[in-house]
Amino acid sequence: MLSFLRAQLRSTREVIAGFKGNARALLICEPLWGIPYNLYATYASVYMLALGCTETQVGLIASCALVSAIVFSLVGGWIIDRMGRKRATLFFDILSWSIPGVLLATSRGFTMFLLAALINSLVRVVNISWDCLMVEDTPPAQRVHFYTWIAVAGILAGFISPVSGPVVDRFGLVPAMRALYAFAAISMTVMFFWRNSMTHETEIGAMKMRETRHGDAGTTASEYARITGQLLRNPLTLTALVLNLLLTIQMTLKGTFLSIQLNRRLGFSAGSNSIFPAINSAVVLLVYSLAMPAVGRMKIHRPLAFGLVCSALSFLLLAASPSRSMPFVIASTILGALGGSIAGPLSAALVANSVADADRAKVMSLFNALVIAACSPFGYVGGLLSTVSERLPFVLGTATFVPTIALAIVLPVIQRRYARKVESAAA
């Protein structure tokens, strides 16, 4: 057992040492975003309720943000190709995180929360530019490891989340949240400029900037039409699209309604919310340190299906939990952390490796827009369900795992069929 642990830790050190250039810079800087985000994220929904929002309005804000994100996802690829990956990442990070942080720190009610959420939806541009900044100069074999360790950086930052519990208990939810959002705006802004100084424009990014400098709307539209056709003809990319659509629905429901579930139905205090992210962080760190080096060498469908089953059980336990049942919530947290830590990096790598580098920005732009468009009603639907019973958003989330797990199981068949199609086209 000891020799196994030594081998796994040695493999982990080799993986981390292998990151170069943009990948290394993004990994180093991530905690300065992750620490402030983890401090306030647990309380975001109950903060809205404390300032007069209803559960339906909380869900509506989530849905409106997703609808707005469709637009920014569609134009994101065009913007990034023109501005460059590095410049777009800095500019839109400041717009989507620093400015909403100030708005949320000073919010008085629904209107300010909605405005902050709409501006934050500009992060969909960053999601694409940040991904391109990393992926385009990173060998495909290293990508699953990078997605794993960027998540580790966020998880390590998650260990700070219990600090917010005593702060909320000592000063009250609203004053504490105003301070945490202000701190987040400052910390994230510092990180954005620091990271910008450490990264470089990718070769493909520089090429796309030259190509699009004199491009017109007609050329852009024809490129999107060509890319749409490619996406629809690629069964592997379509599978990744549906898989990520279902995962996004699940994350939307859990991220929006977990704190409401804990405080309103299960009866936990607001301060106790910060305990569960720390448990999540500990489990994920163990999985990433000990299991993911081996998982990265396995065929993707088995660990992916295992992770999804664990996540489904996590949702099911939350829906079934009786009031003030700490064992139920802890078990749900552990299963959710185990499932998410495996399924998350694998699904991200599946998407990254199913897209050609030359068209990555525009393909990911279209990909994200389709995912968000299909997911956008679920925040509002979850809000309506939550007004009937706080259990129901998690019942709905559990149901979405049935097709998600089925996709993971049939993934090898889809991969073989696509490989034969590529071989026959080449012949």
DSSP 228-255: HHHHHH-HHHHHHHHHHHHHHHHHHHHH
Q: What is the DSSP letter of 405?
A: H
Token pair 């490619």: residue: 230
3-state secondary structure of 219: helix
Identify whether 125 is part of a domain. Answer: yes
Q: Is the dihedral of CA 398, 382, 102, 270 positive or negative?
A: negative
Confidence of residue 191 (pLDDT cuts 50, 70, 90): very high
- 273's tokens: 């919310």
Identify whether 7 is part of a domain. Answer: no
Instruction: Give the C-alpha separation, 75 to 92, whole Å.
Output: 13
pLDDT > 60? residue 260? yes
> What are the CA-CA distances from residue 100 to residues 152, 178, 319, 411 (Å)?
25, 12, 32, 39
pLDDT (average), residues 366-382:
82
pLDDT > 90? residue 302? no
pLDDT (average), residues 114-127:
93
pLDDT at residue 88, rounded to an integer? 94
pLDDT at residue 169, rounded to an integer? 85
Q: What is the CA radius of gyration of the chain?
A: 21
pLDDT above 90 as % of the chain? 27
Tens digits of residue pLDDT in 52-90? 999 889 889 988 888 888 888 878 888 888 899 999 999
Could you give the angle at the alpha carbon of 345 between the alpha carbons of 355 and 157, nearest 5°? 130
Q: Which long-range contacts (CB under 8 A, 24 or more apart) does 115-121 make?
A: 117/61, 117/62, 117/64, 117/65, 117/68, 118/64, 118/65, 118/68, 119/95, 120/65, 120/96, 121/65, 121/66, 121/68, 121/69, 121/72, 121/96
pLDDT (average), residues 132-160:
75
How crowded is the C-beta side of 231, counted as CA atoms within 13 Å?
22
pLDDT > 80? residue 289? no
State CA 372 to chain mean position distance: 12
pLDDT at residue 113, rounded to an integer? 96
Identify whether 15 is part of a domain. Answer: no
Residues contacting 167, CB < 8 A, separation 6+: 176, 179, 180
Indicate the number of domains in the chain: 1
Identify whether 341 is part of a domain. Answer: yes
Residue-averaged pLDDT of the chain: 83
CB 240 within 8 A of CB 354: yes
Relative orientation angle of helices 21-29 and 123-135, to the nearest 10 degrees: 130
pLDDT > 60? residue 217? no
3-state secondary structure of 315: helix
pLDDT (average), residues 252-267:
84
Instruction: Find the length of the chain.
Output: 427
- Domain region containing 46: 21-426
Residue type, 55: E
Tens digits of residue pLDDT in 380-409? 888 889 888 888 999 999 999 999 999 989
CATH number at residue 328: 1.20.1250.20
User: Of the ranges 125-129, 337-341, 377-381, 395-399, which is most confident?
Assistant: 395-399
How crowded is the C-beta side of 277, counted as CA atoms within 13 Å?
29
- 192's tokens: 């954005």
Identify whether 49 is part of a domain. Answer: yes
Instruction: Give the C-alpha separation, 117 to 62, whole Å.
Output: 7
Identify whether 338 is part of a domain. Answer: yes
Identify whether 37 is part of a domain. Answer: yes
Identify whether 116 is part of a domain. Answer: yes
pLDDT (average), residues 410-423:
78
Confidence of residue 214 (pLDDT cuts 50, 70, 90): low
Instruction: Give the C-alpha separation, 140 to 126, whole Å.
Output: 21
